[in-house]
Structure 1
Amino acid sequence: MSTATADEHPAVATASRKIYRRIIVLFALMMMLNQIDRSNIGFVQEDLEAHFGIGAAAYGLGAGLFFVGYFLFEVPSNALMQRVGAKIWITRICITWGAVSASLIFVRGETSFYVLRFLLGVAEAGFVPAVLFYISSWLPNRYQGRATGTWAVGALFAYSAGSLVSGPLLSLHGFLGLDGWQWLFLLEGSITILVGIVGYFLLDSKISDAKWLTEEERTQLSLQIASERASDTEHASTTATITKLLRSPVIHLFMWIYFAVQMCIYSTTFWLPSVVRDIGVSSDNLVGLLSALPWLCTIPYLYFVSRRGDRHPQQRTTLMTTSLVLAAIGTLVASLTGSWLGLVFIVVATLGFKTVAPVFWPLLRERTDPVTAATAIALINSVANLGGFVAPYGFGLVEDSTGSTELAMLGLGVVIAIAAAATLLVRRIPLRPAADPSAAGPGALGQTDPGPVQAGTGADLEEPAPKLR
């Protein structure tokens, strides 16, 4: 982590380093397992079709139903997190999604496949906004980009690790009477449950509860975070807050950009193994190795984007636009070339769409009221995740109709190109007013837990809604 700046107490930097080592690394591991458990069906598509007749369209529908459950329960999950505390809620999410993921060994046809995928989405709902809200509540602004980037690296390691271990796990066919695809679900889900249990003992809901920080670190970190937060303490109902958010063109813009990003992520996640097999690769181990390639190549660039965004916040919009342009070019060229060259451009596309998050969320927080930020994150994340339903299901329909995913990739390239153009509007959105540091007086220590996210009447969300200047 960075060293303290001239206007920052040294204890803030030491506390942030401890948080990074104890909490952010744990979140990265959870994120890795999160992405493995939601996307590992990509490696058993042929097994599901061979055993239960689940074809491309049914597979795409099942893959996408995860995001319907996620969408329906994302905001309610976020509201419940405010009642029970982040420690209990994040670990609950981790344990229950692991249990549902392991239960996929009981799939016996399309209906059971659909039901379990939907329940997996319900179980995972709220994880992303809870972690993002946790990071923003525990780390000063200048540390958040790198923390979010490190957490996002967990997803890249997930796709890489999931790809690399899929072959060996599928080779366990017949061991103890289970098929290889069942071992894949059972082992990966069980590991998630164990990590959730460990997380309960490592996490704290509030900075004041963190006994592994010194008293000075807790005090100075709380003051620093409180000084960066606006002093708005008005309260409104969850419904009123969501209504205000939905009236904001700023929220609509961010929602559209992230919807396109999610379409890219999950079309690649669920269909990349199939694309590799279409090239002519038949070995499960080689399919896994080649499927890991785009994610592994993205890790260095992800670190560059997150650190650059932290050090030069004014460049975040440029970094986001550049990433989405790369995603659009890679996807469009891959759809037109195919074969091994197409795989190369899928790597280029992945470099783009997987490096958006470390700058996207800070850009959103800079343009929304702090007391509505968590609800805004949950709302945007839940709606945007429907891109994870649209893209996989659309790919399945196209493959069933044409025998290829090329047309689907072409359409996806057009969508992400439009999103890249939309990022230019983000530059025209004014930043929210900076908090008055004098607000971080003696009472500020009680504000380190920002309180219920549904509370707030963010001035930037009142009518008239903020205009793109």
Structure 2
Amino acid sequence: MREHIEDPQQQAEQAVIRKVAWRFLPMLIVGYLLNYLDRSNIGFAALTMNRELGLTASQFGLGAGLFFVAYCICEIPSNVMLFRVGARLWLARIMITWGLLSALMAFVVGPYSYYGARVLLGMSEAGFFPGVTFFLSSWFPAKYRTSILAWFLLAIPLSSLIGGPLSGSLLYLDGWLGMSGWKWMFVLEGTPTALVGIWALYVLADSPAKARWLTPDERELIQRMLASEQREKPRKDFGAALRDPRVHLLALIQFGFTVGSYGVGIWLPQILKQFLSTPLEIGLVSAIPYAFASVGMLLWARRSDRSGNALGNLAASCAVGAIGLACSVFAHGVSASMVGLTIALIGVTAARAIFWAIPGRIMTGIGAAAGFAYINCIAALGGFAGPYVIGWAKERTGSFTAGLVVMAVVLTVTVVLVLPLHLVGQRSRRAAG
């Protein structure tokens, strides 16, 4: 937010935005941290779970990816339901069900129960991220949205910064009360999510008009800011959103950096296992790239807000991700590999924060709810493709090199896709004019 502003109107706006942010963001950040912890802890479970269950590399990669297939199928229906029943109830429902199902991952006994549990987990989580994005776009005007999204998305690198050492440590509970360490990890990391879902029921409000913790003047100010912005934006239903080529380009772009993000994130513990010996060491070292990614994302989002050039910053962040992956391919030793992977994660993490400030500029209403879900649905396939491609390549070549090369190529193509998005946007504005 800008400093040294003397305009009383601007000061009032910033004060109410801060009040709303402090109300929502702590709970949403914790919820999304647990969401990403739930997605990435499967990589740590694999350190001992795969051997115990007899899973091959391709079976593990397939199960990790099936989560995203189920997530993708249920994404749009979930967000339409959120629009119908309200974000407060629906986001709470999502967190409660996924928390319980994540804990039940402790009871898988072989490849088929593993596949089934991952499918159910993907179905339960569907709609959480686009639902939160739609919710935030319904509360925060565009000029504050990138920074607000960056703080929310801070949960992603934090989940790995905290989750790596935590998941690695929980594996040492192996044998306690007759349960394997990886099973304790799922139980102890899944159960708190259901409690956060209950917290959401007390914190969230579907709209400023329903927020009793705001004064009448504060409610009126937020509603006026949002109403002014909505008048300047074309209203779209889902069909109109699907006819806009920018929506499809956005989906492809997010698919690209999601491939890189999940491909690295889920396999990072096993990549490090080549160089390190204990789960705790792997957990601590895997946290290093995410510490840099956390800082890099916030700084890059602030730069993007100030420059007003979201598309240019999006292309640059994807390019940094591709360069980092390429560097990791040619690196020798754990230190050089970690430098490359750190650069890659800075790029793809910053790309996510910059990216999600863009769709809300071209969609509103139920079109935005379903459109956000559609974009995230296509991108979720990247969460399937990334882990599966690396697992498939590892099984056939004996190394992670080929899979990382594919990730770098996909990110390079993603950079190229930003240019037509810019050109299509220009044509759409001229047509509207």
**TM-score, scaled relative to structure 2:** 0.94
- Tell me the residue number matched to 1:52: 53
Q: 1:2 to 1:197 in 2, by over 3 A?
A: farther
Q: CA deviation at 1:308?
A: 1.8
Distance 2:361 2:206 in 1: 24
1:410 is the counterpart of 2:405:
yes
Quote the offset at 1:221 in angstroms: 0.8
2:244 to 224, 231, 248: 248
Aligned position for 1:257: 253
Farther off after superposition, 226-235 or 413-422: 226-235
In structure 1, the partner of 2:317 is 323
2:396 pairs with one of 387, 392, 401 = 401
Distance in 2 (CA, whole Å) between partners of 1:5 and 1:138 is 24
Name the CA distance, whole Å, in 2 between partners of 1:74 and 1:136.
18
For residues 145-193 of structure 1, give each alpha carbon's deviation from its aligned partner in whole angstroms, at most 9, with x where no partner exists.
Answer: 1110001101110011110111221111121221111110001001111
Judging by fraction of residues, say which structure has more helix: 2
Q: What is the distance in 1 between the residues matched to 2:260 and 2:423?
A: 25
Aligned-pair CA distance for 1:231: 7.1
| Cα RMSD after superposing both structures | 2.2
- Alignment-derived partner of residue 421 in structure 2: 426
Letter paired with 2:315: T
> CA–CA distance in 2 between the matches of 1:230 and 1:271?
46
For 1:286, the equivalent position in structure 2 comes to: 281
Question: Paired residues, what number?
Answer: 430
Code of the aligned partner of 1:253:
L
Query: What letter corresponds to residue 108 of structure 2 in structure 1?
Result: V
Counterpart of 2:180 in structure 1 is: 179
Percent identity for Structure 1 against Structure 2: 34
CA distance in 1, matches of 2:417, 2:425: 16
Q: Which amino acid aligns with 2:98?
A: W
Residues 191-211 of structure 1, C-alpha deviations (whole Å, 9 max, x = no match): 111111111111111111111
Task: Please give the alpha-carbon distance, in whole angstroms, between the structure 2 residues aligned to 1:430 and 1:235.
Answer: 16
Distance verdict in 2 for CA 1:365–1:83, change over 3 Å: closer
Cα offset, 1:373, TM superposition: 2.4
> For each residue in 1:309-368, what CA deviation from the matched residue of structure 2 results, as whole angstroms up to 9, or x when unmatched?
22232x222211111111111111212224321221010111101101222122232244
Give structure 2 stretches of 5+ with no counterpart: none
* Shift in alpha-carbon separation, 1:344–1:9, aligned structure 2, 3 A: closer
**Contact 1:60–1:393 (Cα < 8 Å) also in 2:** yes
**For residues 383 and 137 of structure 1, what CA distance do their matches in structure 2 show?**
23
Letter in 1 for 2:326: L
Query: Residue 339 of structure 1: which of 333, 340, 360 is its match?
Result: 333
Q: What letter corresponds to residue 347 of structure 2 in structure 1? A: G
Q: Secondary structure at the match of 1:19?
A: helix
- What are the Cα deviations for residues 348-402 of structure 1, in whole angstroms up to 9, with x where unaligned? 1111011012221222322445662222211000111101111111111111111
Alignment partner, residue 35 of structure 1: 36
Q: Does structure 1 conserve the Cα–Cα contact (< 8 Å) formed by 2:76 and 2:370?
A: yes
TM-score normalized by structure 1? 0.87
Q: Residues 130 and 376 of structure 2 are in contact (CA less than 8 Å); yes or no, is this contact kept in structure 1?
A: yes
The code of the aligned residue for 2:293 comes to: T
Q: What amino acid maps onto 1:260 in structure 2?
A: G
Contact 1:263 1:390 in 2 (8 A): yes
Structure 1 segment 111-126 matched on structure 2, within 5 A: 111-126=112-127
Residue pairs, 1:57-68, within 5 angstroms: 57-68=58-69
**Using the alignment, how far apart are the partners of 1:26 and 1:307 within structure 2?**
22
- Which residue does the alignment assign to 1:109? 110
Q: 1:88-237 to 2 correspondence within 5 Å?
A: 88-230=89-231
